[in-house]
Structure 1
Amino acid sequence: MNLNRRHFIVAAFASLAALNRAAAAERWKSLPATPPPVAGRSARAQVNGISLYYVELGEGSPVVFLHGGLSNSDYFNLQVPEVARRHRVILVDSRGHGRSTRNAQPFGYDLMTDDVVALLDHLQIPRAAIIGWSDGAIIGLDMAMRHPDRVSRVFAFGANTQTSGLKPDVDKDPTFAQFIARAKTEYERLSPTPGEFDQFLHQIEKMWETQPNWTDDQLRAIRVPVLIADGQYDEGIKREHTEYMAATIPGAGLLILPNVSHFAFLQDPVLFNAALLDFLEG
């Protein structure tokens, strides 16, 4: 994939002959089940006053998967086995999410980015590729700006770099509302503080209301290869904002996956994995 082009929309991935056309037309409205955990080496790292849960599997150049807000690392488990064939994969539950703990510090992207950097230090990994979805993609871009020596490339799916890039009333979208309900159930099952979901949700929503708000100059300072990706029917991110990010980050690519939404990696993992592997091997 040629990242020297400012914009490109990969439509070649659009139709796979084996897919049923009628099912594909409605795929973006679905929220498939969260995949089960992968068989890897799970552990915890004590970083920045919290216990950060992570799983490792595979060998090769390191790739860190960072999930979206309110979710957990299991959401990427349809991608991980494919990537782990050629790479050392590190799956992370962000602070306060999944199996990781949180402390009294307010949630913020800089703080969660520093958690990932501290985890890389703990694992003695000097530099890694970042695969991020939503909040995880924002963390990946934050790393590219603030810790450029620790990032080899960033696949940023469903990100925003300004709060104005979010669609209003996204919580009223049926698919997104279903996701929040599922997140509550998963939080109660996985979290070290299972009874505190409402407090957790309030804190994350407060972060979303105020962060991120990066300037053009901050985005133009990014020098690592970046692919800005999103689904054709993303429930929460404005298309013009996705295009703006790709146009502003030097050399960034733009990828719009057809017939999928903010949850493309669950809705069409074959398509998502093809794009992801192409970027990593590029």
Structure 2
Amino acid sequence: MAILELEGVSLYFSVKGEGKPIVFIHPPLLTNENFRYQMEELSKDFKVITFDFRGHGRSLYSNQPITYPLIAEDMKHLLDHLGIEKTFLCGYSTGASIALEFMLTYSDRALGSILVSGMSEVSDFYLRKRISLAVKLANPRTLSFLAYAITYGNSDSKETFTILYNAAVKGDARNIHQYYQYSLKYNCTNQLENIDLPILLVYGKKDKSFHRYANLLKERLPGSSLKFIDKEKHQIPTKAAGELNHLIIDFVQLHNE
């Protein structure tokens, strides 16, 4: 177990493989385990870095409220700790919003990004209602129920479910609540044109409610390309791991300095 100590909080992280680094960024409640298939496959060619946000999984509770700028700063500290000057980013769902925040704040530390089922804002009624419900359920009394629902939806097998669920319920409901709550108000859409880095947008063709975000990002991000994965919904890292991994490999190799 690798631990990074940051101002009173301990962050769990994992590094596997050699080559160009890729940092993976998870959504609320989920942990680094959500990228288990990427860690296993991509570490054959790249340095794969995963970590648990403050108050998630094996990382300790944070007295500082969870915000995207705070997570981006933690990522910078992690890169400094590992001696990595620049990295590729791969953010899933709200993790993609954090990748955008990192590129806006620390553009000199990023090589590019793969945004999976991502968004720069939460502006449609359906998604706002879903996240608002998660905010209500992210409390000690109902966290296990929320963890069951989220991890079940992201699982492709009983084994994956067990791994994701056991990691999720280790998190602290207070920080998980803060992450969900912050995602409702985050909006960097008007700043997207300032990101001058190569970006691959990946969405499930059946994830129709997110197509508006896919088109918005494609329109606003000057260096972006858009890929839809057939027959898939939102949970691409686990349920379409093979195709996503191939897309990541091709993207990183294409933009390898």
TM-score (norm 1): 0.74
Contiguous gaps of at least 5 residues in structure 2? 135-145, 153-160
- The secondary structure found in structure 1 opposite 2:213 is helix
2:61 corresponds to which letter in structure 1?
R
Q: Which residue of 2 aligns with 1:233?
A: 206
- The secondary structure found in structure 2 opposite 1:91 is strand
Q: What is the CA-CA distance between 1:180 and the residue it aligns to? A: 5.8
Q: Per the alignment, do residues 104 and 240 of structure 1 end up closer, same or farther by CA in structure 2, a change over 3 Å counting? A: same
The whole-number CA distance in structure 1 between the counterparts of 2:165 and 2:44 is 32
Q: Which has the higher helix share?
A: 2
2:52 corresponds to which letter in structure 1?
D
Pair 1:112 & 2:71 matched? yes
Q: Which residue of 2 aligns with 1:25?
A: none
The whole-number CA distance in structure 2 between the counterparts of 1:180 and 1:62 is 27
The whole-number CA distance in structure 2 between the counterparts of 1:202 and 1:79 is 27
Q: Deviations over 1:32-73 (max 9, x none)?
A: xxxxxxxxxx31111244211111111112111112221010
Pick from 204, 213, 232: which aligns with 2:187? 213
Q: What is the CA-CA distance between 1:204 and the residue it aligns to? A: 2.6
Q: Which residue of 2 aligns with 1:6?
A: none
The whole-number CA distance in structure 1 between the counterparts of 2:210 and 2:49 is 30
- The secondary structure found in structure 2 opposite 1:85 is coil
Pair 1:129 & 2:50 matched? no
State, as a whole percentage, how many aligned pairs show the same letter.
Answer: 27
2:149 corresponds to which letter in structure 1?
Q
Q: What is the CA-CA distance between 1:276 and the residue it aligns to? A: 1.7
Pick from 248, 251, 254: which aligns with 1:279? 251
Aligned residues: 231
Q: What is the CA-CA distance between 1:234 and the residue it aligns to? A: 2.9
The whole-number CA distance in structure 2 between the counterparts of 1:82 and 1:250 is 30
Q: Which residue of 2 aligns with 1:243?
A: 215
Q: Which residue of 2 aligns with 1:252?
A: 224
**Structure 1 contact 47–119 (Cα < 8 Å) conserved:** no
Q: What is the CA-CA distance between 1:255 and the residue it aligns to? A: 1.4
Q: What is the CA-CA distance between 1:240 and the residue it aligns to? A: 1.3
- Map 1:259-270; keep pairs closer than 5 Å: 259-270=231-242
Pair 1:63 & 2:22 matched? yes
**Structure 2 contact 117–210 (Cα < 8 Å) conserved:** no
Q: Deviations over 1:11-47 (max 9, x none)?
A: xxxxxxxxxxxxxxxxxxxxxxxxxxxxxxx311112
Q: What is the CA-CA distance between 1:110 and the residue it aligns to? A: 0.7
Contiguous gaps of at least 5 residues in structure 1? 1-41
1:170 corresponds to which letter in structure 2?
R
The whole-number CA distance in structure 1 between the counterparts of 2:247 and 2:201 is 11
- Map 1:26-105; keep pairs closer than 5 Å: 42-105=1-64
Q: Which residue of 1 aligns with 2:179?
A: 204
TM-score (norm 2): 0.81
1:228 corresponds to which letter in structure 2?
L
Higher relative contact order (CA 8 A, sep 6+): 1
Q: Per the alignment, do residues 176 and 91 of structure 1 end up closer, same or farther by CA in structure 2, a change over 3 Å counting? A: closer
Q: Per the alignment, do residues 163 and 263 of structure 1 end up closer, same or farther by CA in structure 2, a change over 3 Å counting? A: same
Rg larger in structure: 1
> C-alpha root-mean-square deviation of aligned residues, in Å?
2.5
